[in-house]
Every structure is written in C-alpha cells, then in structure tokens.
C-alpha cells in the first residue's frame, strides 16, 4: 500500500480537500445519468455508489482524523449506508494508507522528544496497521517486543473544524435537521477529542486490565508509561490474528464458540457490572492468540454509561416491560424518545416502531442460550434496519429523539452483534458473565 508524506492540517487545506471530493462526487453523478441511458437503474446506481465510495474514501484517507473515523463508524451499521460504502469505509478500521517511514519517525520525535532509534533496540519504520487516528509500528527493546501507536499529526487540532465541514453532508445523508442532532454531534465530538488523548487511553487500558481480572480467556496488553505521551502510546505486542482473519480461517466450531463467548462476556460484564463500554467494537480491535485467547486492543473510545440511562435502557430488554403499556411509555419518556410536545399520533408511531425494533434486537436476552449462527435472526435485524431507515412517519417527527448516550451504547451493541455474526457463533450462554462478578459487587449489579 502506498504511504503518504503529508497530511493536510490547516482549515483551508482540509476544506479544500473536502471540496475536491465533493466535486468528484458531482462528476460521478453526471456519469450516472449517462449510464442510466445504456444500462438498468440498478446497475447505474451500483456503479455510482462504488465510484462515490472509492473517491470519498480516498479523500478521507488523506485527511485522516475525525472525518475518516466517522466513515468507519458508519461502516459498522449496514442500515445507514449502501453496501458499496460499507465495504469501502470498513477499510478505515485498520487498513488505510500509512505515514511514510520518514514522516512517522518525525512524528515520533515530536511526541517524546527522541527519535525511535534512540529509544528502541530496533524499530520497524513501516507500520503494521494504520487506522483513522493513528498507526502501529513494531519495536523491540532487546528481546521484548512492543506495539507503538503513533497519532497522525494535526488530528486532534482539526476535529472541531472537520466536524463543522462534514455536518451538512451528514444532515443530507441522514435527512435530519441541524437542531435535532446538535447534542449527538457534541457527543461524537467529545469522544473524538478523548480518543486523540493517548494519556486518557493509557489510563483506560490500565483500568480495563484491572477490572477484567475476573474474566476468563481475556488478554489486555500492558502499557509502557515511559515511552508514551499524549500522542504516542507504547504497549506490549500481542501476536495473533485479527478477529476478521480468525473468522475466515478458523474451522473448528468449538474454538469459534469459545472466542464468541469470551467476547460476549467481556462486553456484558463491563456494561452491566461497571457501566463502562469499549465503544469501538470492530474486528481490528481484537486478536485471537494461537492458544485461542481473546486479546482486546484500543481503549481510546470508552463510554461511561450514566446510572439512570443504564437502568432505563436495559429495562427495555425485559419483555415484561415492553409488553406493559404504562411501563413501556414511561421508559420511552425517560430515554427522551417521546417528548412532551408529541401528539397522540406521534406517540403511537414511536411506541409501535420501537416495540417492533426491540422485539428483534432483544431476542438473545430472552433465552439462557442463543444461537448467533442463525441467519434468520440477522436477516430480521437487516429488515428492521431498512424499515427504520425508510420510515417516513419517523422522519416527519419534530424535535430531537433519544438521549445522546444512545450514540455510543447503540454503536457498541450493534457492533457486538456484528462480531458475533462474523464468528458464526453457535449457542452462547447469554448470562454467563454473571458468574465472574465478585461477591462485593453482586448486590449492585442489575
């Protein structure tokens, strides 16, 4: 893959790049109009989506940072974008054009005031993985191997201005009003700012190692604090296959189920016992060792779930609450899905819609064991997602819908289901995480 020697950093440079991407998209649309004359609408539309996805991704890959991160986030939900975009944008998870060796060396020096060869016995100048915010290099001190995560220059400083540039595009794609999504944009902006602070990630990683001690089959790398800073993070290297590679290569169903159970337990345990979310559940953030242990990586995007939101949100997983009309209405109000200004018709639309959605999404929680290899379940998820996207009654509702906390909690749960599907996990014990809860915490766990 071709490396890059420069990242646009000023507002003018980045705005200019986005304008060029927009102009190319316009050119692709003109081609699409021509293609409609000589081919079917379906073929012409698919070609338009492919061309646009490729040109947008290439442009965002040069910019990196928050705009590329948002593309990655959208790729995790098949219900938001056409599949041509999802396939292309998913590359942002861990396979984007990296910084060149000289630029990576220069960026390393700016992070800790020393060149890599002055710190490590050996440093691999070409990156092993490159994502939206930073890239990872292999390094050694004598025989000890490390993963060195270098943040792209200018990423943190450009977040606010980048989001202002992409907001109008997002509004058009999602068919929303500015005032209705302002709180959600602030939530995303704050999380992206946190994600570029590697000191916070270092603290989150250390905390996660401590909190995860009761869990079985989970490995979280140790941090080297002495070779870390706000824009550089050094951890012990973890060998293994990324989860997507493992899902493609591992044929033993028992082993796949073991990893799926570990993955499920990790998320459920942290969500329900500690009210914390590893809110970036894509395959690039997990590895599987040769001993079939699950390695959890990248703790830059952590979401702490407020107690009140946690209580209301997960009460919706109880079928008794969703079938009790009074309780269901109360929970929808607590979660800000129903507003005081809503009409009876509005309330009826919202109740009906979310009752249907929850009946599908919450299905695993209605059983002691659930088969995540069931294609019918994920088919139903896809259908309900498409129905939500095309629901005109929902689109016509006025005002903001839902607490801002939905953004990362939903992203996590949908991402987790996607990972379970990719593993084609057989029967998983849904409440298995509870057996790991320390005795002194069992009284507070819900």
Of 69, 74, 70, residue with least CA distance to 86:
74
> How high is the pLDDT of residue 446?
43
| pLDDT tens digits, 381-433 | 888 877 777 778 877 787 778 899 998 999 899 889 989 999 999 899 999 99
What is the phi-psi region of residue 17: left when phi exceeds 0, alpha when psi lies from -120 to 50, beta otherwise?
alpha
**Angle of helix 253-274 relative to helix 198-211, nearest 10 degrees?**
110
Nearest to 237 by CA among 113, 126, 149: 149
CB neighbours of residue 37 within 10 Å: 7
Domain boundaries defined on the chain: 306-404
Is residue 226 helix, strand or coil?
Answer: helix
Dihedral sign (CA 439, 441, 443, 446):
negative
Residues facing 123 on adjacent strands: 139
Sign of CA dihedral 119, 125, 131, 134: positive
| 76: helix, strand or coil | coil
What radius of gyration do the chain's Cα atoms show? Answer: 23
Helix, coil or strand: residue 382: helix
Q: For residue range 370-393, what is the model confidence (pLDDT) as tens digits?
A: 999 999 999 998 888 777 777 788
d(CA 214, CA 218): 9
What tokens does 218 get?
């989970």
Number of H helices, E strands in the chain: 18, 13
- Comparing 87-101, 166-180, 211-225, 245-259, the range with the smallest average pLDDT is 166-180
pLDDT digits (tens, 9 = 90+) for 149-200: 999 988 888 888 877 777 776 666 555 667 667 888 888 888 889 999 999 9
Q: pLDDT averaged over the chain?
A: 87
* pLDDT-wise least confident of 30-34, 178-182, 213-217: 178-182
| pTM of the shown model | 0.84
d(CA 307, CA 216): 26
Q: Which of 82-86, 233-237, 397-401 has the lowest mean pLDDT?
A: 82-86
The structure tokens listed for 391 are 């629901």
């Amino acid at each position: 893959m071709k490396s890059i020697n420069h990242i646009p950093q000023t507002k003018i440079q980045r705005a200019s790049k986005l304008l060029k991407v927009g102009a190319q998209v316009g050119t692709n649309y003109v081609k699409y109009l021509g293609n409609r004359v000589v081919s079917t609408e379906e073929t012409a539309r698919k070609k338009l989506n492919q061309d646009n996805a490729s040109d947008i991704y290439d442009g965002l890959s040069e910019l990196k940072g928050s705009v590329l991160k948002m593309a990655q986030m959208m790729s995790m939900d098949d219900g938001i974008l056409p599949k041509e975009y999802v396939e292309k944008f998913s590359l942002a998870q861990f396979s984007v054009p990296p910084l060149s060796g000289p630029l990576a060396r220069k960026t390393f020096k700016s992070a800790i005031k020393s060149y890599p060869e002055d710190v490590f016995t050996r440093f691999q100048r070409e990156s092993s993985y490159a994502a939206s915010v930073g890239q990872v290099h292999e390094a050694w001190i004598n025989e000890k191997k490390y993963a060195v995560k270098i943040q792209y220059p200018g990423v943190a400083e450009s977040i606010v201005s980048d989001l202002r540039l992409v907001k109008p595009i997002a509004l058009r794609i999602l068919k929303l009003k500015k005032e209705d999504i302002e709180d959600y944009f602030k939530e995303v902006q704050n999380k992206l700012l946190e994600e570029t602070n590697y000191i916070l990630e270092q603290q989150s990683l250390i905390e996660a190692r401590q909190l995860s001690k009761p869990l079985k089959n989970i490995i979280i790398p140790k941090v080297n604090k002495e070779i870390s800073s706000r824009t550089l993070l050094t951890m012990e290297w973890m060998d293994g296959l990324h989860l997507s590679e493992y899902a493609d290569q591992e044929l033993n169903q028992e082993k796949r189920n073991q990893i799926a159970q570990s993955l499920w337990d990790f998320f459920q345990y942290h969500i329900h016992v500690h009210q914390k979310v590893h809110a970036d559940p894509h395959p690039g953030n997990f590895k599987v060792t040769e001993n079939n242990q699950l390695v959890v990586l990248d703790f830059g995007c952590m979401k702490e779930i407020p107690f009140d939101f946690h209580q209301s949100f997960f009460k919706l997983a109880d079928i008794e609450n969703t079938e009790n009309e009074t309780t269901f209405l109360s929970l929808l109000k607590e979660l800000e899905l129903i507003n005081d200004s809503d009409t009876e018709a509005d309330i009826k639309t919202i109740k009906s819609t979310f009752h249907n959605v929850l009946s599908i999404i919450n299905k695993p929680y209605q059983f002691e064991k659930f088969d995540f290899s069931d294609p019918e379940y994920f088919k139903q998820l896809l259908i309900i997602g498409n129905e939500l996207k095309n629901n005109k009654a929902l689109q016509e509702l006025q005002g903001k819908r839902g607490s801002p906390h939905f953004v990362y909690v939903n992203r996590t749960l949908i991402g987790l289901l996607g990972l379970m599907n990719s593993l084609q996990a057989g029967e998983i014990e849904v409440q298995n995480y509870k057996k790991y809860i320390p005795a002194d915490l069992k009284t507070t766990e819900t």
